[in-house]
Amino acid sequence: MQRLPSLQIVWSLLLLFLIVPAMGGAVKAGEPVTIRCGLPSEAEVALTFDDGPSPLYTPQILDLLAKYQAHATFFVLGCKVEKYPWLIREMVRQGHEVGNHSFSHPRLPQTGQLARERELETTRLALDLLGCPQEHLLIRPPYSAFDDRLVSYAAHTHRQIVLGSIDSGDWRGLGSEAIVQNVLPRVGNGSIIYFHDSDEKEQKNRQPTVEALKTILPVLRYRGYKLVTIDEVMTENHH
């Protein structure tokens, strides 16, 4: 057990280097640490995509978002960021927001403190190295599973935990029509919608998500919604 304390010291020092630059981030006093939906006063909807990026599905989704003048937020896995850095650059280039979905998709409440910090900080570092704007430092915990320790960690590191208000159910392997039916009847001002552009093992077919977006995007635009990032859906517009 002699090695454990020294490892902890090394990791604590490393964390200092990783966290200190994150201090003074965008979370202002009084802003919620945990977000479930945006402002009800604005006709805005935030689409979010977890578990990617995927070289197969993410480019199709980026094309559709561009076609309908939509911006979205991608909660990416650090392991995929390292594998497909060009997709992260493309998201940023097209004005989308990129958030942290951990490195390898564990259930964070069942993960020890050091391991969970490593999951989040390694991913943040990978995004930093790609020049990803990290001023908002959004975290979506895998399975949306979190505990009080994660809430206080997020607060201390000036981050927000982003959940959502509508589950498209695409992660369950639904067809595109079922995904559309899970989403469209429920959408309102400030909705934050869960979609998936990949899965942690890259084995699942996400084409139904892509096909569903071909219906969802034009309908939401027709209904007058602006499709925006998490940062925008949380910010009041001054008309």
Neighbouring residues of 234: CB distance < 8 A, sequence distance ≥ 6 = 31, 35, 38, 39
Closest C-alpha among 6, 38, 41 to residue 229: 38
> Which residues 9-38 are close enough to bind Zn ion by CB under 5 A?
none
Closest C-alpha among 221, 217, 139 to residue 183: 217
Q: Does 197 bind Zn ion (CB under 5 A)?
A: no
Find the helix or strand (DSSP H, E) in which 121 lies. helix 113-129
- Are residues 190 and 228 in contact, defined by beta-carbon separation less than 8 angstroms? no
CB-wise, 44 or 206, nearer to Zn ion? Answer: 206
Q: Tokens 């559309």 map to which residue?
A: 180
The answer to whether 196 is a known catalytic residue is: yes
CB-wise, 21 or 173, nearer to Zn ion? Answer: 173
Q: Which stretch binds Zn ion (CB under 5 A): 8-16, 87-95, 140-148, 227-235?
A: 140-148
Out of 42, 44, 51, 231, which residue is the one contacting Zn ion (CB under 5 A)? Answer: 51
The answer to whether 51 is a known catalytic residue is: no
Q: Does 170 bind Zn ion (CB under 5 A)?
A: no
Q: What are the DSSP E strand ranges found in 84-139?
A: 97-100, 138-139
**From the candidates 71, 96, 105, 196, which is the catalytic residue?**
196
Q: Which stretch binds Zn ion (CB under 5 A): 56-64, 125-133, 136-144, 230-238?
A: 136-144
Q: Does 142 bind Zn ion (CB under 5 A)?
A: yes
Residues making contact with Zn ion (CB under 5 A) = 50-51, 142
Catalytic sites, residue numbers: 50, 196
